[in-house]
Amino acid sequence: MPKKVPKIIMSLIMKFGKDLLKGMVQEQVKKFQAPEFEEKMAKVIADKIPDTDAFPNDLQIELIKDVIDKVTDELAESVDLEAD
């Protein structure tokens, strides 16, 4: 029967895993905050919305980018990063 892993080793492994996961999430959030990503996602979403005279595609893109920016700012703050 295998021996039990000492608590200190298990806690070190857990801390390492948490730190590794947090670092990976932070890197992904930084990618989401990039202006290029926000622009790309805004265009994809705006293409799905019908254009009208009152709400043309360029206005849709600007509004959607603003929403994406606010979402990514909240996401960044939740993982201890600065909002952009």
> Quick one: pLDDT at residue 69?
95
> Quick one: pLDDT at residue 5?
74
Q: How far is the C-alpha of 79 from the C-alpha of 7, rounded, in Å?
A: 27
Q: What predicted TM-score, i.e. pTM, was given to this entire model?
A: 0.75
- Mean pLDDT for back-to-back runs of 10 residues, the chain (84 residues): 77 90 92 94 95 93 96 92 86
For the chain, domain boundaries:
7-78
Q: How far is the C-alpha of 67 from the C-alpha of 50, rounded, in Å?
A: 18
> Quick one: pLDDT at residue 83?
87
Amino acid type, 62: E
